[in-house]
Amino acid sequence: MAADPACFTPLAPHTYISGLRVVVAGGDRSPHPVTTGQVDADAVHAYLYGQCHALAQAISEATGWEMAALATVDCCCVVPYVAPCRAAPVGANVRACQPEHVMAVRPSDGAFVDITGARPADCVPPGYRAVPMTAALAAHIATNWAWAAPNVEVARTFVEPLLNSLSAPGSTVRAPDVGVWARPATEEG
Ligand SMILES: [Zn+2]
């Protein structure tokens, strides 16, 4: 039954409800509880291990910033000289098996923005490279089992608090050594 417009008013784009305890899916489909709008340890965990692409999309929507992914340099599904990688190309010299984490790119300095803060564009971890988000990569992330279904609605509640926190001096990276940013990293973002 369609919603009655008289009693259902969609939230305006920049309106959200803070402080709700909700659950989003991790990369392994485990439940990741977060509190909407609160950039805390739960949020760092959820947006590193399963919902990074939802947050990047929410930031991109709100700011117009581009997205990028951290992709492994090597392709782990290749057996040299025996079995070539069969993963689909999702960008220039990038196959679907390689991207692991999605960030927004701050245009003023090229910094990668995710739930852990803003990192200079040159701080890509060893074994990774940053690749631009392409339509093919976005389509892959949206449909492949290796990526949790993005909960962009919940992710939107973190955008404003996150970006506000990044404008304060000295708080650029709040969780320096976690997830894909730690070495070595193996979990999907
Ligand atoms: Zn591969």
> What's the rounded Cα separation, in Å, for the pair 86 and 133?
20
| Cα 49 to middle of ligand 1, angstroms | 21
> What's the rounded Cα separation, in Å, for the pair 141 and 50?
11
| Cα 39 to middle of ligand 1, angstroms | 34
Kindly state the average pLDDT of the residues 99-127. Answer: 93
Task: Return the percent helix, strand and coil in the chain, to nearest 5.
Answer: 25, 20, 55
| Cα 136 to middle of ligand 1, angstroms | 15
| Cα 116 to middle of ligand 1, angstroms | 28
> What's the rounded Cα separation, in Å, for the pair 146 and 178?
20
| Cα 83 to middle of ligand 1, angstroms | 10
20 vs 176: which has the higher pLDDT: 20
| Cα 168 to middle of ligand 1, angstroms | 40
| Cα 85 to middle of ligand 1, angstroms | 4
> What's the rounded Cα separation, in Å, for the pair 19 and 65?
26
Kindly state the average pLDDT of the residues 48-67. Answer: 96
8 A C-beta contact, residue 35 and residue 46: no
Per-residue pLDDT band for 176 (boundaries 50, 70, 90) equals low
CA quadruple 131, 137, 142, 147: dihedral sign: negative
| Cα 86 to middle of ligand 1, angstroms | 6
Residue 173 DSSP one-character state? B
pLDDT, the chain, mean: 86
φ/ψ of residue 120, rounded to 5: -60, 150
The reported pLDDT for the residue numbered 186 is 45
pLDDT by residue (tens digit) across 134-172? 999 999 999 998 899 999 999 999 999 999 988 876 556
The reported pLDDT for the residue numbered 14 is 59
Per-residue pLDDT band for 123 (boundaries 50, 70, 90) equals confident
φ/ψ of residue 144, rounded to 5: -85, 145
Decide if pLDDT at 62 tops 50.
yes
Decide if pLDDT at 82 tops 80.
no
The reported pLDDT for the residue numbered 83 is 75
